Structure 1
C-alpha cells in the first residue's frame, strides 16, 4: 500500500515552502522519500500562476507594502491568489502511479478531499465547472463564493503546489486582487460560514485523513522538527539603530546571519536564546519573544532536516563588546537596510523586522 508522510509545519515563509517542495519533489523522483503532504500557513502573499494577469492585482505597490503583502511568480496553474494566516495551504507531493496519471482526475481528487473535509464541519460545498476551486453555492447562484483555491503543477507525474482552504482567513485581503481572475463571485471562509473561528490543527487533521483516504494511502507522521532560536541583537535608536550580524566560517556556509542555535533538552526557547547570545557573542542580555515561529528545511538532499525556529530580539548597550564563538569568523554592526539586504533567508530578515518594530514601540 502506498504511504503519505504528513508534515504539519505551522508558518512557513513562501520562498521556504517553494524550496521544501523542490527538495521533496526531487527526493520523491529518486525514490528517497514517500509521497508527502505539507500542511502549513504562509504570511500574507499574492502568488501568480502561469496564466496570471498583473491587472488582477488591483492594489498599488504602496498599498501592498502597507498591508505587509508580498508577491511571487510561480509555476503552478491558474491566475492570482492570496495566501495568509488562518488559511491552510496543502502541498501534495505525490508521484502518481500509472492508474492515476490523469490531470483532470487528480484535480477532482484534490477537490474531493476538501469537499469531504468541509462536510465534516457541516459545510456543504462543491465545484463549479467553469471556475476552479471549491465553492459554497452552486453554479448560477447569485451568492456563489469560493472557499478553497486549487492550483497544481505536474511534471513527470510528480505533483507540487496544491490547495488553499480559507479557515479563519482575513478575507479583506482578497480585496487586493481579483481572486483567480473571477470577478463575478466572492470568497468566503469556514469561519464566516459557521460564525466562529476554528482550531487550525483540527481542520488539518481532517484534511490529512481525507487525503489519505481519497488517495488510498497509509498515513505516516513526519518526524519532529529540530527546534532552534534566532536572536536579532540591536543597539542604538531611530536612524542610528544597528543590527549585529555574524559571518559563518566558510566550512559552515560563509553567509551572514543573526545569532542562531538549537534549543537543548530541558530549555525553554527564551533560555536557549539567552544562552546562544552569550555563547556566540559574549553579550549578556535578556531576549524578548517576538511571537514569531516558522519552519524550514536544512540541507540540499534527502534525508531532509526540518527546523522550527523561534524568533527573539535583544537590545544591547552601544559600547557592548562582541566576543565571537569558533563557528564565526567576523561580525559587523550594520544599519537595518544593510542587514536586510545581507541576510540570505527570509526567516532571518523577518526576525530583524520584528525586533526593530518591537523595540521602536518601546523607545
Structure 2
C-alpha cells in the first residue's frame, strides 16, 4: 500500500515552502522519499498563479507594505490567492501512480479530502464547476462563498502546491485582492461559519486522515524536526541600531548570518540561545524570546532534513566586546538595511526585524 508522510510544520516562510516542494520533489523522483503531505501556515502573502491578472490585486503597494503582505509569482494554476495566519496551507507532494494519472480526478480528490474534513465540523461544502476551490452554497447562489482555495501544479505526474483552507483566517486581508479573480462571490472561514475559533491542530489531524483515505494510503510519521535557535544581537535603537553579523568559516558555507545553533538534549530553546551567545561571542547576558518559530529545510540534503527554529534577541551595551567562537572567522556591526541585505535566509531576516522592533518599542 502507498504511504503518505504527514508533516505538521507550523509557520513556514513562503520562500522556504517553495524550497521544501523542490527538495521533496527531487527526493520523491529519486525514490528517496514517500509521498508527502505538508501542512503549514504562511505569513501574510499574495501568490500569483500562471493565469493571474495583476489588476486582481486591488490594494496599493503602500497598503500592502503597511499590512506586511508580500507578493510572489508561482507556477501553480489559478489567479491571485491570499495566504496568512489562521489558514492551513496543504502541499500534497505526490508521485501519482498510473491508475491515478488524471488531472481532473486529482483536483477532485483534493477537493474531496477538504470537504470530508469540513463535514466533521458540520460544514457542508462542495465544488462549483465553473470556479476552482471548495465552496459553501450553489452556483448562482448570491451568498456562495469560498472556504478553501485550490491551486495545483503537476509535472511528470508529480504534484505540488495544493490547497488553502480558511480556519481562523483574518478575513479583512481578502479585501486586498479579488480572490482567485472571482468578483461574483465571497470568501469565508470555518470560524465565521461556526461563530467560534476552531482548533487548527484538530483540523490538521482531520486533513491528514482524509487525504490518506481518499488517496488509499497509510499514514507514516516523519522523523522529529531538528530544534535550532537564532539570536539577533543588537546595540542601540532607532536609526542608530546596529546588528551583529558573523561570517561562517569557508568550510561551513562562508556566508554572513546572525548567531545560530542547535538545541541540545534536555535544553530549552532559551537555554540554548544563551549558551550559543556566550560560546560564539563571549557575551553573557539574558536573551529575549521573540515569539517567532518557523520550519525550513537545512541545506540541500535529500531527502530534506527539517528544522524548527526559535528566534531570540540579545540587546547589548555600546561597549560590548565580541570574542568570536570557532565557527566564524569575522564579525561586523552593521545597520539594519545592510543586515537584511546580507542575510541569505528569510527566517534570519525576520529574526532581525523582530529584534529591532522590540528594541524600538
**Bin for the TM-score computed over the shorter chain:** over 0.9
Contact 2:49–2:75 at 8 Å: present in 1 too? yes
Q: CA deviation at 1:162?
A: 0.2
Say whether 1:19 aligns with 2:19: yes
Match for residue 326 of structure 2? Answer: 326
Q: What pairs with 1:1-363 in structure 2 (closer than 5 Å)?
A: 1-361=1-361
Q: CA offsets, 1:130-181, max 9 Å, x none?
A: 1000001111111000000000000000000000000000000000000000
| Structure 2: segments with no counterpart, 5+ residues | none
Distance 2:268 2:97 in 1: 45
Q: Would you say how many aligned residue pairs link Structure 1 and Structure 2?
A: 361
Contact 1:27–1:301 at 8 Å: present in 2 too? no
Question: What is the DSSP-based 3-state SS (H/G/I as helix, E as strand, rest coil) of the residue aligned with 1:318?
Answer: coil
Distance 2:210 2:338 in 1: 46
Distance 2:5 2:101 in 1: 20
Q: CA deviation at 1:78?
A: 0.3
| Structure 1: segments with no counterpart, 5+ residues | none
Contact 2:48–2:74 at 8 Å: present in 1 too? yes
Distance 1:256 1:6 in 2: 33
Q: What RMSD in Å do the two structures reach over aligned CA positions?
A: 0.6
User: Which aligned segments of 4 or more residues in structure 1 are displaced greater than 4 angstroms?
Assistant: none
Q: CA deviation at 1:239?
A: 1.4
Q: TM-score, normalised by structure 1?
A: 0.99
Contact 1:167–1:200 at 8 Å: present in 2 too? yes
Q: CA offsets, 1:318-361, max 9 Å, x none?
A: 01111111110100000000000000000000000000111111
Q: CA deviation at 1:10?
A: 0.3
Contact 1:58–1:176 at 8 Å: present in 2 too? yes
Q: CA offsets, 1:78-110, max 9 Å, x none?
A: 000000000000000000000100000000000
Distance 1:237 1:49 in 2: 40
Question: What is the DSSP-based 3-state SS (H/G/I as helix, E as strand, rest coil) of the residue aligned with 1:329?
Answer: strand
